[in-house]
Structure 1
């Protein structure tokens, strides 16, 4: 794994409080991991409520059957179905007799309400039965509706998800159609160290399940932990997209990293250099368990510094636009979230203004660096702006905005 560290401002003014961003990029080259991969311990938790009848349920069965075909005797699998009742369709077992498992899968029939929490917790309990810390332990939750039975309070559900993730079981969520709670499913995936997928059309289910499965089959690093030990003149004010554990060292845990994956972490600092010359920002510590080396722990410790100067030319030319770009793209995701809140309250003019202002900022950045990713974000903001201007803020449009915002944050 390659670790790159950049600073938004290489030069700072002495004796002034300034904001600086550290950008840490973890890059895992694309490599073949089939033989060395960690075993997978996965529970499929499937909504079978009445609204899943027809195409949704048919494609769900097809997607799970496809996933089962790609597991082998190293892996453990279970399947839970839920409506107002929760049933264990397939108890936790090795993925050996896959033809029999698929036959049982096809017996699912649609039913009543949506006890999402009950299905989730049953899936977690089945993963716990086969839990091994060195394995990939994950629950895949698919639903098309609202949580209207069991625990329905989002805050209580999220607390449970955080507790589950702290025990090394991650959760990915799949929302089908236009009637599920996208805010809840996104928050569950992010709190649970997994991924969220918006499935607007049921026929894309197999493709999306394959995307998730290929990630699980190609994990190269687990138990990623980042810590920042700031120097005396530095304060860590945030890590964008994460809830840090505050202390002498500011720490976060990161989701697993895959073959071909890049993770970008943005650390927000306030700095007040006390001397002209070299200014230490502190030390960045990173460690992970290498799947390709029998889960041996790999450690990186990097000292970070900038230079304090009064030279205006150095101050003007020492800005790293690549770091600025990543900060602004993250800010774009935050602005989309705020625009959705305004639109939810019926304040479409404010939603439009927020999106348009951020679009102008990205236009200025694009003029400086001609970056294709910035241009892509500009085009997405323009599409979102047009939705707010026309007040064509449908359930599908909101879900698409939420999904793209999550995708922006997911690479972190």
Structure 2
């Protein structure tokens, strides 16, 4: 009966079609639900209008109050794509309000899509199809008494709420759409960004912050050296592991005992982001928004030829989430790519905020090259490197008083991986390469999984020589700044650590001949600030000691030291191969990587079946394949290599192409919070993904017996 009624009217009514039609028609007859009056009122009005070009195609009353739970996750953890509104991510079931179905057959909550259209976005948020008919929120029924007879000819009970209309777009609206959308980006903004929402009250803060303190371990290269022997470069591994965070990772967003975050997202909406790219970016932002807690604050910057702050830092309460979702879903793509202007406004939000959460970060995504600020001379392999310093405001660089890391995401094969990697390195953030558009949400999920679990800030590792005659060699600490004073004391500035995150540093010293049976080489300690209690914590680790017998029958090399040496050498090899590839010597770059793979396989850790060595080998092989031709290197090889260098230099997980072979390596840097958020993303998003091996938690070294 329902289908016959629709066919007779000859219209595509934007109403909900019930699963059990007989039951729904019985409900229509009783007039118990507002949905019933919605259906019949629309049918009666359409029959009276006769399909004329009056511009009013259907009229349906719905509640003017949006659901307060539209951003909550389903308890089941999994939703069907066709039963979920792509804007608010809430279920679309019978009795949950009126629905709108576009000409492309994608359905949304009427309130959600009408709010989206209000900002001028007249295309489907999912498939980007242009609509000839759009939903429109009209004035209250009390303001239109003359329309009540047409809306409700049968005088059924009906709420006096907001009416919703379906309006056909005239040609003039379509032609002026781009102009209207461009005007949205030119709305005047305040000169000073001091209109951020006050931070929330942090309750239930533990007296000593989160659980536990940093675990500090040291592993000498050998447990014993003969008395009369000397070593010019004796390695000592310093292993750090951050305290655990919230044990129930699935509730991390709303957990009261974690550090709240101020997050600024700087999003590229240039013309190249049109279509599926922008639609998936919006969906990824929706995932970020719904996983931030009410104490977290979010600001969104959109940039193309110019940049605009969509909204100031707002707490992610229910109303705050609704506001941000509407702003994000109103975005359309146009113009060029002005990364520097987007970063400048993002830094301005951070600098001029009145109040501060203890954790702060910027997420930058772009699929193109900056066409306004960066310039380089020459072409091809002979071009000179551009000056990327101009892209990063001085206030958020590593050497600034208050460093704000920029986690950069290069999207697609046309982005400028040079600039994105440089921005992240200069600011202290990571660079991720998103090769496929279906993995944008996963990349964001892994990043915020870490940002929402910061348990250590301003971490500094200190080492001091204890035995006379011992001297420190220069420290190789990747991208972390270090210094050595008079060869006797050294320090490494590590900064923030996520819950359960690990760091490894190799320190080298010279070991002179001695007469003692045992000597203490180094004293290791660290200091850091607890982001919850704001107190400084000082830790003194155990002294690093080795035995000095008269003779040693067989030297026992530490596999922990060998593993870390392999990782450092592999990172240096990647950098060397990249330099060769940039000057056009791809065959040389491939040979460099192959030589390192041989050394890895012959090392102690490699022969013992160490998983990190196996992952390093797979990573180097992947890079060799991406350097097989100039075209492939330009399309994906360079970005893959740079994201790998970023991951190794900061010892932090990054998204890296669509590779499955080297995914194990990425997981070796992942934390449990990252894994949990990534699994949540993969559960909620129905988009197809490349197959991946099982996710494993972050690596941990087993406890070793006392060498004495």
Q: How does the TM-score come out when normalised to structure 2?
A: 0.54
Specify every segment of 5 or more residues in structure 2 that has no aligned partner in the other structure, as ranges.
1-213, 376-386, 653-708
Q: Find the counterpart in structure 1 of residue 460 from structure 2.
A: 225
Q: Find the counterpart in structure 2 of residue 105 from structure 1.
A: 328
Aligned residues: 408
Q: Find the counterpart in structure 2 of residue 363 from structure 1.
A: 601
Q: Find the counterpart in structure 2 of residue 57 from structure 1.
A: 278
User: Which of 46, 69, 72 is 2:293 aligned to?
Assistant: 72
Alignment of 1:297-312 (within 5 A): 297-302=536-541, 303-308=543-548, 311-312=551-552
Q: Equivalent residue of 1:313, what SS?
A: coil
Q: Find the counterpart in structure 1 of residue 224 from structure 2.
A: 11
- What CA distance in whole angstroms lies between the structure 2 residues aligned with 1:131 and 1:276? 62
Do the aligned residues in 1 keep the contact of 2:481 with 2:493 (CA within 8 Å)?
no
- What CA distance in whole angstroms lies between the structure 2 residues aligned with 1:364 and 1:58? 48
Distance change >3 Å, CA 207–CA 352, structure 1 → 2: closer
Cα displacement string for residues 150-197 of structure 1 (whole angstroms, at most 9, x for unaligned residues): 366224446835257640422211110112222332333244233322
Cα displacement string for residues 105-142 of structure 1 (whole angstroms, at most 9, x for unaligned residues): 11222222222122112111212233766611111111
Q: Equivalent residue of 2:514, what SS?
A: coil
Do the aligned residues in 1 keep the contact of 2:246 with 2:257 (CA within 8 Å)?
no
User: Which of 361, 364, 368 is 1:138 aligned to?
Assistant: 361
Shift of 1:39: 1.4
User: Which of 164, 172, 181 is 2:407 aligned to?
Assistant: 172
- What CA distance in whole angstroms lies between the structure 2 residues aligned with 1:386 and 1:168? 37
Q: Equivalent residue of 1:238, what SS?
A: coil
Cα displacement string for residues 185-232 of structure 1 (whole angstroms, at most 9, x for unaligned residues): 233324423332211112211121111112122222222111222345
Shift of 1:350: 1.9
Matched, 1:198 2:433: yes
Larger radius of gyration: 2
Greater RCO, 1 or 2 (C-alpha within 8 Å, sep 6+): 1
- What CA distance in whole angstroms lies between the structure 1 residues aligned with 2:274 and 2:294? 32
Specify every segment of 5 or more residues in structure 1 that has no aligned partner in the other structure, as ranges.
none
Q: Find the counterpart in structure 2 of residue 398 from structure 1.
A: 638
Alignment of 1:270-349 (within 5 A): 270-277=509-516, 278-291=518-531, 294-302=533-541, 303-308=543-548, 311-314=551-554, 316-317=555-556, 319-349=557-587
User: Which is richer in strand?
Assistant: 1
Shift of 1:281: 2.6
Distance change >3 Å, CA 155–CA 101, structure 1 → 2: closer
- What CA distance in whole angstroms lies between the structure 2 residues aligned with 1:258 and 1:123? 23
Q: Find the counterpart in structure 1 of residue 246 from structure 2.
A: 31
Comparing 169-178 with 6-15, greater Cα deviation is found at: 6-15
Q: Find the counterpart in structure 1 of residue 474 from structure 2.
A: 237
- What CA distance in whole angstroms lies between the structure 2 residues aligned with 1:263 and 1:60? 32
Distance change >3 Å, CA 73–CA 375, structure 1 → 2: closer
Cα displacement string for residues 224-268 of structure 1 (whole angstroms, at most 9, x for unaligned residues): 11122234522231233033134354222224222232222x133
Shift of 1:386: 4.1
Matched, 1:2 2:215: yes
Do the aligned residues in 2 keep the contact of 1:41 with 1:130 (CA within 8 Å)?
no
Alignment of 1:207-226 (within 5 A): 207-226=442-461
Q: Equivalent residue of 1:67, what SS?
A: helix
Do the aligned residues in 2 keep the contact of 1:233 with 1:271 (CA within 8 Å)?
yes
Q: Equivalent residue of 2:235, what SS?
A: strand
Matched, 1:129 2:352: yes
Do the aligned residues in 2 keep the contact of 1:86 with 1:118 (CA within 8 Å)?
yes
Do the aligned residues in 2 keep the contact of 1:11 with 1:308 (CA within 8 Å)?
yes
Distance change >3 Å, CA 306–CA 126, structure 1 → 2: same
Q: Equivalent residue of 1:256, what SS?
A: strand
Alignment of 1:259-278 (within 5 A): 259-264=499-504, 266-277=505-516, 278=518
Distance change >3 Å, CA 134–CA 91, structure 1 → 2: closer
Q: Equivalent residue of 1:285, what SS?
A: strand
Shift of 1:15: 6.1
Distance change >3 Å, CA 335–CA 166, structure 1 → 2: farther
Q: Equivalent residue of 2:283, what SS?
A: helix
Q: Find the counterpart in structure 2 of residue 188 from structure 1.
A: 423
Comparing 85-94 with 378-387, greater Cα deviation is found at: 378-387
Distance change >3 Å, CA 148–CA 270, structure 1 → 2: farther
Q: Find the counterpart in structure 2 of residue 92 from structure 1.
A: 313
Do the aligned residues in 1 keep the contact of 2:347 with 2:393 (CA within 8 Å)?
no
- What CA distance in whole angstroms lies between the structure 2 residues aligned with 1:313 and 1:20? 19
Q: Equivalent residue of 1:36, what SS?
A: coil
